[in-house]
């Protein structure tokens, strides 16, 4: 069974930090990229960040660049998103998704984890 399970969301004050985790199972982890997404006005989702474990490439949306860091632990089939200097605008449900490339829309999706940033 393919599963992506997010955790680590919560309520924090502006300027605080959280670390989200995405634990994957049921597919060959090393063959897939893992991305983080959140809903955005006017579109289904905004790609926040993505990681390719095969070559270590990482990508970030301009809105989070310099504040968020994506990392992976291949042995644990887990991808993390460290979020620093959080802003109220970061409030959203964050989803992780797996696909063959970071430019794809996601073949497998997790259930989401809520991040709320208070001012």
Whether 90 has a pLDDT exceeding 90, the answer reads yes
pLDDT value for 51? 94
Mean pLDDT of the chain: 94
- The per-residue pLDDT for range 43-62, each reduced to its tens digit, is 888 999 999 878 889 999 99
Tell me which residue of 79, 80, 95, 85 sits closest to 65, measured CA to CA: 85
**Chain centroid, CA 67 distance in Å:** 13
pLDDT at 44: 84
């Amino acid at each position: 069974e393919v599963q992506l399970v997010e955790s680590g969301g919560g309520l924090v004050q502006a300027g605080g930090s959280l670390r989200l985790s995405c634990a994957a199972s049921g597919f060959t982890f090393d063959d897939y990229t893992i991305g983080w997404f959140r809903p955005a006005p006017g579109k289904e989702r905004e790609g926040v960040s993505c990681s390719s474990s095969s070559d270590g490439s990482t990508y970030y949306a301009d809105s989070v660049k310099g504040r968020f860091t994506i990392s992976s632990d291949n042995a644990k089939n887990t991808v993390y998103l460290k979020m620093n200097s959080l802003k109220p605008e970061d409030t959203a449900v964050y989803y992780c998704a797996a696909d063959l490339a970071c430019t794809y829309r996601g073949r497998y999706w997790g259930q989401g984890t809520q991040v709320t940033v208070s001012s």
